[in-house]
Amino acid sequence: MGSVLTARATGCEEAKAATREISCMLQEIDFVELEAARAAKKAKVATFDAALADMNLANFLAWYWSDEGLYVQDRAKAGRSLAGDYLRVARHYVPTYVQPWPAFAETALRRASFSLIDRFFREVRDAGRASSPGEPLSRTMFDALRDALRGPLNWASARGLCKVVDYKSIVLPEKAERERGLLSDEEVGKILAIPTQQLWKTTLARISHQKQQGFLIFVYNLLYHQQMKTRKETPV
């Protein structure tokens, strides 16, 4: 098998001829130059990683989410670009909440730790919204802010630039649940007034009153969850 592969790789029909061809090829290769190029590439990567590790957290997080960030570029080159809304939210929370925090400007990426991140979230929770100081951040906003830090720091820890941070121990605000009963006449009227959904009216005419209520609640839930999704994607 080895002889066959050798012959095919060199284009020779006989193994002996292929061996002679490979010997000539090896004499033409400058292995010293190849090793030097490999070492230079390795040193370049190490230098780049060292520069990132020495960057303060505020600047690193801003760089990570920018168009110059490696992760953003890699996703685009792989044909899996990050969603515009996802980037927009991250690019809002970093300059609004992360960069103004003094400790992030004073701490290098290599020194990132759970205690630092936990202290940041506790202070943000106490301070409230940037646009309305004292008004608490919702769970949705807290999750978006956590994602803006978790992605970059997970990426950095995978490259050995900092320690792994466990976000499970960070205390998050309670989720606000909304209880809903049957739809009001006003809510039913709004749904039935939607001009593009004539099919719903036709369907309602064919089913019982009890099933109408269930159907309308289902529709209302869809509208409600879409509204909550929109709120989550809208930075505050």
Give domain limits for the chain. 1-46, 55-169, 185-233
Residue 52 confidence (pLDDT) above 50: yes
pLDDT of residue 1: 41
Tens digit of pLDDT for each residue in 55-95? 999 999 999 999 999 999 999 999 999 888 889 999 999 99
Residue 41 confidence (pLDDT) above 90: no
Global confidence as pTM: 0.58
pLDDT of residue 116: 95
Please give the span between the terminal C-alpha atoms of the chain, in angstroms, as a whole number: 66
In this prediction, residue 221 has a pLDDT band, given cuts at 50, 70 and 90, of confident
Tokens of residue 108, six digits: 């290098």
In whole angstroms, give the CA distance from residue 36 to residue 109: 30
pLDDT of residue 179: 43
In whole angstroms, give the CA distance from residue 224 to residue 177: 12
